Chains A and B, each alone.
Chain A
């Protein structure tokens, strides 16, 4: 019961407070929601299934570029382009996942191969004039056109990403409490033992990959519409992959709230450190690196994991 009340209160705050926030803080909140969303997407494959992808930027980029190209070249609404991007990303993810899982890539080897796939897409994008090469793509018009996923102010974007984040939490919870969730966690803990208990490891991991890649791609479209500019480095680069991963690890991989909690902690930290150093490039990521080292060393199951252990010990 307490959880429901807290959840309702949090939701109410998240719905109302932004109406009162000055633009700078609203921007930060949007970033929190976006990173939390990406973290939740990564979490399905990374936290629950234990397959640490270092290349989720691949799906982010596919989503961003697909919807943007469809919009700029064919006038297709990014709302629709979002779904197309999702499907394309899922196809790519399933192909990459099938190759990797079928050939038994686990742990660091899986991480490396996903990194390679994302980098390959980045290199292709950089060298393809049709998608703008290194210069990327700009979404020119900033006139409000909601049916084209373009809003005149930041507030509607916030509510969109809030809805996406809530949906992501809902999906995570549904997965966690389903046969898929149990199977994924068993695979994460011990894939051989899971197989011996009847778990189709390959099938389950592919399912997780499909959900994870689809969700990540939608995030890519949001990014494109919100920032109105994408290029290969931003969308296919390692920083996006690391962002998603970081929120989940710090907040608690394999938990529902972990990624969003992680985002609420990391984003302000990043903003503060940047402000403290007068906007010097790299401070925020440097702090991220330090936090990652500290979290792995002292809170290996993230904040949610630590909270759960405290609760168990107390009980």
Chain B
């Protein structure tokens, strides 16, 4: 266990953690406004990665550039899914709403499997292997861009929530649903927009990781679980907490990888998850909904 190894782990962990943060903030937003845990979050990311793949392979579009397409595309996707599947069931029992998004996840993941089979695909633009050295650690450019892009997106989202009318309406609805209705906010529209934004952010995260990840129907599952852990850690509905939580989880995962062989590093993350759920369900930073 050398300092170099730890530094490398820290760097890798933080870089990926930025992406986890973006994925989680979308999930957190959806929970804050719609009060549902979106099990299909990872599946949407996976679809966006496929979209990125096809745009790159068939259209020669650079993955980062394709965000201009996938972002809005999956925003609309989210709007439609929310209106068609989720909104009609908004008064259903809580556990049924959970099952709804689970059903959606199963459907989307396996739709991808049916359409495109389980083969791993990759998109490797010219800069895929670019890297530079920072101190004793190797920094891979795509990962750095992904992290940077994720942080910028998250900050943009934060700004949107703070300054725009739509953002304020979203926050109002998250904080005080009945009050928001009384203030004349079009609740149905805002709920759809929130879901759309959540999907758009996780789609952008997907585009950002495509240059250094693989594309397959099950790729969303890993990010799904990470997103749950991050959101619980950061506090359900706590946007900033999700970002910070992302970095913490990314760090925990990669430090775990230095300690434990193989895929046992996941145990570190799960253990953290269980501990937070049991002892601080409102999240490390509070502000979450708790149990």
CA gap between A107 and B96 in the complex, in Å: 10
CA gap between A283 and B110 in the complex, in Å: 7
Is chain A's interface secondary structure helix, strand, loop, or mixed overall? helix
- Least CB distance, A77 to chain B, in whole angstroms: 33
A-binding segment of B52-60, B170-178, B186-194, B263-271: B263-271
B225 at the interface (CB under 8 A from A): yes
CA gap between A119 and B273 in the complex, in Å: 12
**A277 — nearest CB in chain B belongs to which residue?**
B114
B78 at the interface (CB under 8 A from A): no
A282 touches B277 (CB 8 A): no
**B232 — nearest CB in chain A belongs to which residue?**
A112
- Which one of B88, B106, B117, B279 contacts A286 once the chains associate, using CB atoms below 8 Å? B106
A-binding segment of B64-72, B97-105, B150-158, B205-213: B97-105
**B228 — nearest CB in chain A belongs to which residue?**
A112
A290 touches B103 (CB 8 A): yes
A120 touches B102 (CB 8 A): no
B96 touches A300 (CB 8 A): yes
A109 touches B291 (CB 8 A): yes
- Which one of A54, A104, A286, A293 contacts B291 once the chains associate, using CB atoms below 8 Å? A104
- Which one of A127, A288, A300 contacts B261 once the chains associate, using CB atoms below 8 Å? A127
Q: With A119-B225, A123-B263 in contact, is A108–B95 under 8 Å at CB?
A: yes
Q: With A119-B266, A290-B103 in contact, is A107–B94 under 8 Å at CB?
A: yes
B263 touches A108 (CB 8 A): no
- Which one of A103, A117, A123, A242 contacts B106 once the chains associate, using CB atoms below 8 Å? A242
Known A103-B281, A109-B291; 16 more pairs at CB < 8 Å: A105-B278, A105-B281, A112-B277, A113-B277, A116-B274, A127-B261, A249-B99, A281-B114, A281-B117, A282-B111, A286-B114, A288-B106, A290-B107, A293-B103, A293-B107, A296-B100
**B88 — nearest CB in chain A belongs to which residue?**
A297
- Which one of B85, B99, B217, B291 contacts A282 once the chains associate, using CB atoms below 8 Å? B217
Residues 64-92 of B at the A interface (beta carbon under 8 Å):
85, 88-89, 92
B182 at the interface (CB under 8 A from A): no
- Nearest first, the 5 closest Cβ-Cβ pairs linking A and B are A289-B107, A282-B113, A289-B106, A292-B103, A286-B110
B135 at the interface (CB under 8 A from A): no
CA gap between A280 and B117 in the complex, in Å: 8
CA gap between A111 and B98 in the complex, in Å: 9
Residues 91-117 of A at the B interface (beta carbon under 8 Å):
99-100, 103-109, 111-113, 115-117
A108 touches B100 (CB 8 A): no
**A284 — nearest CB in chain B belongs to which residue?**
B110
A107 touches B95 (CB 8 A): yes
A282 touches B261 (CB 8 A): no
CA gap between A107 and B37 in the complex, in Å: 11
Our count of residue pairs bridging A and B at CB distance below 8 angstroms stands at 135
**B225 — nearest CB in chain A belongs to which residue?**
A119
Which residues of B sit under 8 angstroms from A120, Cβ to Cβ? 266-267, 270-271, 274
A117 touches B274 (CB 8 A): yes
B166 at the interface (CB under 8 A from A): no
B183 at the interface (CB under 8 A from A): no
- Least CB distance, A296 to chain B, in whole angstroms: 5
A300 touches B92 (CB 8 A): yes
Q: With A286-B110, A288-B106 in contact, is A106–B291 under 8 Å at CB?
A: yes
Interface flags, B33-51, vs A, CB<8A=1, else 0: 0000100000000000000
Q: With A127-B261, A281-B118, A293-B85 in contact, is A103–B278 under 8 Å at CB?
A: yes
Interface size bracket, A side: 35 or more
CA gap between A209 and B111 in the complex, in Å: 34
A289 touches B114 (CB 8 A): no
Q: List 19 A-B contacts (CB under 8 A).
A: A52-B98, A103-B281, A105-B281, A109-B291, A111-B98, A119-B266, A120-B270, A120-B271, A123-B267, A242-B102, A282-B109, A282-B111, A282-B113, A282-B217, A286-B111, A289-B105, A289-B106, A291-B103, A296-B100
**B103 — nearest CB in chain A belongs to which residue?**
A292
- Least CB distance, A157 to chain B, in whole angstroms: 28
- Least CB distance, B78 to chain A, in whole angstroms: 16
- Least CB distance, B60 to chain A, in whole angstroms: 29
Q: With A105-B277, A123-B264 in contact, is A50–B110 under 8 Å at CB?
A: no
- Least CB distance, B151 to chain A, in whole angstroms: 26
Q: With A109-B281, A277-B114, A292-B102 in contact, is A286–B93 under 8 Å at CB?
A: no
A296 touches B107 (CB 8 A): no
**A239 — nearest CB in chain B belongs to which residue?**
B106
CA gap between A116 and B106 in the complex, in Å: 18
B93 touches A282 (CB 8 A): no
CA gap between A300 and B97 in the complex, in Å: 10
B108 at the interface (CB under 8 A from A): yes
CA gap between A231 and B43 in the complex, in Å: 25
**B231 — nearest CB in chain A belongs to which residue?**
A112
B262 at the interface (CB under 8 A from A): yes
Which residues of B sit under 8 angstroms from A297, Cβ to Cβ? 85, 88-89, 100
Q: With A52-B95, A297-B89 in contact, is A109–B277 under 8 Å at CB?
A: yes
- Least CB distance, B222 to chain A, in whole angstroms: 11
Which residues of B sit under 8 angstroms from A119, Cβ to Cβ? 225, 266, 270
Q: With A116-B274, A293-B103 in contact, is A108–B94 under 8 Å at CB?
A: yes
Which residues of B sit under 8 angstroms from A242, Cβ to Cβ? 102, 106
Interface flags, B252-291, vs A, CB<8A=1, else 0: 0000000001111011001101100111010000000001
